[in-house]
Amino acid sequence: MRIAVVHKDNCHSKKCGTECILYCPRVRSGDETIALGEDEKAVISEELCVGCGICVKKCPFGAIDIVNLPEELEQPTHRYGVNGFALYGLPIPVEGKATGILGPNGIGKSTSIQILSGQMRPNLGIFESTVSWDEIFKQFAGTELFDYLKHVSGKEIKVALKPQYITYIPKAFSGTVRDLLSKTDERGALDHLVDELALGSILDRDIKNLSGGELQRVAVAACLARDADFYFLDEITPYLDIYQRMAAANLIREVAEHRPVVIVEHDLAILDMLADTVHVAYGRPAVFGVITGPKGVRVGINDYLEGYLPEENVRFRDYAVVFEKRAHTKEAVREELFTFPQMSKTYDRFRLSVRGGEIRKGEVLGLVGPNGIGKSTFAKLLAGVEEPDGGPLAEKVTISYKPQYVSADSSDTVEFMLRRITRRFDSSYYQHEVIEPLALGPILQSPVDTLSGGELQRVAIAACLSRDADLYIIDEPSAHLDVEQRMNLVRVLKHHAEGKECGVLVIDHDIYLIDMISERIVVFDGEPGVAGEAKGPFSMRDGMNLFLSGLGVTFRRDKSGRPRINKPESFLDRDQRSKGEYYYA
């Protein structure tokens, strides 16, 4: 079984000379295998296509994909028209359970949810006529989805939704946080949600003036406050620190005790504590996606990291993601790059003190700590954007900085923007070390202001790395990146640090990412919004122990070596705490 997918946004038949048609061997021998549709976009006949792949190579805009599907796939659940994305399978919302979907962006997760919520009737890949619900039931006969879809067909499902991107909320709603939340308070649970998500102090703030982290917590509260048959939350962690992530996860678990909850989450330590079961989603983003049956959360995450699904006998990645069991160190081989002194910075209501330390050539340093504790202030002090109390730093380094919140207001294309920053755009180093691993190829011709949050994040990281600097400071690069993209990010930043003998500072709240990417860490503690202290850099073991002891959370290792959050007060939790081993136990 083979499918041909035409990415219509990338198909510009007036600009390319329609080489896909000219060179298709089937067209040359007289068949109409590729033709232009009424909209001047390529239409490929999957019946006639022999899968040679010539059109894929000839298209200068990467608009065509021809893919052989795994044998076991039969009829799709839904297809977005002829040559559109094809979805196989659906996740199953289950009463009393939190169900995770684990997979890359663009693999059909939102499409599944639109189907499960009754917003879209699946077409089973049939476009000629409207598919009846009876035909749909037949595809799911004998599965747990059968009864569920019967409800959907009767339009009996009320869904509460937390969308992936929250920046549209201030555009769609005007008023205060209290106004918005009181409208959604259908369960009478608002006070509890406000307490647990620490929203009390911002209730009278205008939605327009919230930071991303505040908006994210309001969006989670608004979703969970509803009285719905089924809750869907598409990524809860962007812009939240680890305390806030755990608080949101605990609230979701509470709701899941009595209603089905489906969640997409790429912070795997959080997904692991949050979900009971997961469906792995694999395939090729924007081409086809397969949603597997449910798996226990431990097994599902481990299979995903392994890149191999034993039950389905499918390998979808040619390498496994592994965690080092012992704290890693390369300290001995690094030379000093820059020493920052003991210093402080006092604002009206906040004071940061920094103990002082050194940054080494070629290392990636992790910066961890809650929101509002002074991490960005520290970055600004190093960058010289802010002066410490008592005068400027004696030693100067040049800094390239990617802020936590990235916005796009330019209609220039991604390529145009990057070329303006770097003269090395065409070098093979830049192509191999930046463009390819950040998967920017397909969006180089897109205007920056049309990019999705995840695309914009990758462009902002590339832009930051394109500048010449001694030190690169990258604030929350994981926001809106899927697990594959996070793994690629680890590789890109490590190579960048070593290749350029510079320092890379990464502020992030995804513990797995921090573990994989950092050679040492700086730990920020204190009272958010009041006083913070930057301690370190420490070795991974000492730093993680200091950070996690403040958080009161311990991690054990499962058989595969993956760290998992211990249940509070479990035997292992108490044992590890008494030994002071919070992470590399």
Q: What residue type is 505 in one-letter code?
A: L
Under the binding rule (CB under 6 A), the answer on residue 109 touching ligand ADP is yes
Q: CB of 258: closest distance to ligand ADP in angstroms?
A: 26
Among 76, 89, 106, 212, binds ligand ADP (CB under 6 A): 106
Does 111 help bind ligand ADP (rule: CB under 6 A)?
A: yes
Q: Which C-beta is closer to ligand ADP: that of 83 or that of 184?
A: 83
* Buried/exposed code over 227-261 (b: 16+ C-beta within 10 A; e: otherwise): ebbbbbbbbbbbbbbbbbbbbbbebbeebbeebbb
* Binding partner at 33 among ligand SF4, ligand ADP, none, C-beta below 5 to 8 Å by kind: ligand SF4
Which residue lies nearer to ligand ADP by CB, 297 or 354? Answer: 354
Is 496 among the residues that bind ligand ADP (CB under 6 A)? no
Which pair of structure tokens corresponds to residue 243?
Answer: 């305390």
Q: What does 154 bind: ligand ADP, ligand SF4, none (CB cut-off 5 to 8 Å by kind)?
A: none
Distance of CA 206 to the CA centre of its chain: 27
CB of 45 to ligand ADP, least distance (A): 19
Q: Using the rule CB under 6 A, is 39 a contact of ligand ADP?
A: no
Segment interacting with ligand ADP, rule: CB under 6 A, options 133-141, 197-205, 343-351, 567-575:
343-351
- CA-to-CA distance for 461 and 268, rounded, in angstroms? 22
Query: Could you say which of 13, 376, 457, 545 contacts ligand ADP (CB under 6 A)?
Result: 376
Q: Which residues contact 309 (CB under 8 A, 6 or more apart)?
A: 280, 282, 292, 303, 315, 316
| Two structure tokens written together for 295 | 């798996």
Binders in 522-561 for ligand ADP, by CB under 6 A: 529
Distance CA 332, CA 211 (A): 40
Rounded to 5 degrees, φ, ψ at 298 are -65, -50
Residue 54: CB minimum distance to ligand SF4, A: 4
| Chosen from ligand ADP, ligand SF4, none, partner binding at 554 (C-beta under 5 to 8 Å by type) | none
Report the partner that residue 55 touches, choosing among ligand ADP, ligand SF4, none (CB closer than 5 to 8 A by kind): ligand SF4
CA dist., res. 510 & res. 568, Å (int): 20
Q: Pick from 228, 373, 408, 548 the residue near ligand ADP by CB under 6 A.
A: 373
- Nearest alpha-carbon partner for 363 in 522, 563, 581, 582: 522
90 binds, among ligand SF4, ligand ADP, none (CB under 5 to 8 A by kind): none
Quote the least distance from Cβ 66 to ligand SF4, whole Å.
Answer: 4
453 binds, among ligand SF4, ligand ADP, none (CB under 5 to 8 A by kind): none
**CA–CA separation, 576 and 538 (whole Å):** 20
d(CA 152, CA 117): 7
Q: What is the DSSP string of 159-202?
A: EEEE-S--TTHHHH--SBHHHHHHHH--SS-HHHHHHHTT-GGG
Query: What are the residues whose beta carbons fall under 8 Å from the beta carbon of 243, sequence distance 6 or more?
Result: 370, 551
Residue 382 touches which of ligand SF4, ligand ADP, none (Cβ within 5-8 Å per kind): none
Peptide bond into 437 cis (omega under 30): no
Please give the residue ranges that form the binding site for ligand SF4 (CB under 6 A): 24-26, 33-34, 44, 49-55, 66
Could you give the CA distance from residue 44 to residue 33 in angstroms, rounded to a whole number?
6
Q: Report the DSSP pairing between strands 520-527 and 364-368.
A: parallel
Asked if 374 touches ligand ADP (CB under 6 A), the answer is yes
Of these partners, ligand ADP, ligand SF4, none, which one is at the site of residue 189 (CB under 5 to 8 Å by kind)? none
Considering only residues 49, 107, 236, 343, which one is a binding residue for ligand ADP as defined by CB under 6 A?
107
108 binds, among ligand ADP, ligand SF4, none (CB under 5 to 8 A by kind): ligand ADP
Question: Scanning the structure block, which residue is given the tokens 């760290």?
Answer: 563
- Rounded Cα–Cα distance for residues 311 and 319 (Å): 18
Decide if residue 85 touches ligand ADP (CB under 6 A): yes
**Residue 66 contact among ligand ADP, ligand SF4, none, beta carbon within 5 to 8 Å by kind:** ligand SF4
286 sits near ligand ADP (criterion: CB under 6 A): yes
Residue closer to ligand SF4, measured from CB, 67 or 247: 67
In angstroms, rounded to a whole number, what is the distance separating the alpha carbons of residues 251 and 255?
Answer: 7
- Least distance in Å: CB of 285 to ligand ADP? 6
- Tokens coding 363: 């290392």
> CA 2, CA 49: separation in Å to the nearest integer?
9
Binding stretches for ligand ADP (CB under 6 A): 80, 84-85, 105-111, 285-286, 347-348, 350, 371-377, 529
